[in-house]
C-alpha cells in the first residue's frame, strides 16, 4: 500500500464522523410533518345524582373543578404557541374534555356541565383547526367562546362549592357561611 492511498483512507476515516455529525445536526433541525389531528366528538353527558346529597355534589366538583382549571391553563399555554407546536396540547385537552363529559353530573350541575363540555369542545376544535391549518380566523377569535364558557363554568362551580359547604355545615349542625357579595 502506498503512502498516498493510506493518507486517503485516513482522511476518509477522519472525515466520516464529521460528516455523520453534520447529517445529525441537519436532521435535528427539521421536523417531520405530523398528520392532521382527527378527534371524536365528546361523549354524551350522564346526569346521575342529586345535589341534595352533599357527597354526590362534592364528588362531581372534585372531578370537574380541577379538570376545568387544568384545561384553562393548558389552553392558554397552547394559544401562545405556533400551530406546529400544539399537537400534544390538543390531544391532552381532548382527554380533559372527555374526563369532564364522563363525570356523572348531579342534577344541579347538569346545565353547567353542558356549558363546560361545549366550551372545552370549542377550545379543542379551535386548536385542532389551528394545527391542521384549517382555521378560518385567528386563534384568539376562535377561542373567544370557549374562554367565555369556561369563565361562566368557573363562576357557577364557585356557587356550587358554596352550596356544598353550606350543606355540610347544616348536616353537622353548624351555621352556614353567608354568601359573599
Closest C-alpha to 49, from 3, 130, 103: 103
Domain boundaries in the chain? 54-171
pLDDT score, position 1: 52
- Chain segment 61-72, per-residue pLDDT in tens: 999 999 999 999
- Mean pLDDT throughout 163-180? 80
Would you say residue 105 has pLDDT above 90?
A: yes
Q: What is the pTM of this model?
A: 0.77
pLDDT in tens, 13-36: 455 454 554 454 444 444 567 888
Residue 127 and residue 89: Cα distance in Å, rounded? 8
52-59: long-range contacts, CB 8 A cutoff, minimum separation 24: 52/167, 53/106, 54/164, 54/167, 54/168, 54/171, 56/106, 57/106, 57/108, 57/109, 57/160, 57/163, 57/164, 57/167, 58/164
Nearest by Cα to 100 from 168, 135, 149, 38: 149
Amino acid at each position: 500500500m502506498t503512502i498516498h492511498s493510506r493518507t486517503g483512507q485516513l482522511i476518509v476515516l477522519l472525515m466520516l464522523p464529521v460528516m455523520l455529525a453534520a447529517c445529525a445536526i441537519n436532521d435535528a433541525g427539521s421536523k417531520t410533518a405530523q398528520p392532521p389531528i382527527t378527534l371524536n366528538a365528546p361523549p354524551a353527558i350522564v346526569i346521575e345524582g342529586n345535589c341534595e346529597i352533599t357527597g354526590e355534589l362534592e364528588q362531581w366538583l372534585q372531578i370537574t373543578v380541577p379538570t376545568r382549571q387544568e384545561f384553562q391553563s393548558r389552553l392558554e399555554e397552547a394559544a401562545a404557541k405556533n400551530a406546529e407546536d400544539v399537537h400534544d396540547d390538543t390531544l391532552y385537552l381532548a382527554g380533559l374534555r372527555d374526563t369532564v363529559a364522563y363525570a356523572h353530573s348531579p342534577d344541579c350541575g347538569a346545565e353547567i356541565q353542558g356549558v363546560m363540555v361545549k366550551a372545552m369542545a370549542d377550545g379543542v376544535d379551535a386548536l385542532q383547526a389551528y394545527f391542521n391549518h384549517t382555521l378560518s380566523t385567528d386563534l384568539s377569535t376562535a377561542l373567544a367562546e370557549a374562554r367565555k364558557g369556561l369563565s361562566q363554568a368557573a363562576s357557577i362551580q364557585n356557587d356550587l362549592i358554596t352550596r356544598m359547604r353550606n350543606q355540610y355545615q347544616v348536616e353537622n349542625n353548624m351555621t352556614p357561611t353567608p354568601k359573599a357579595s
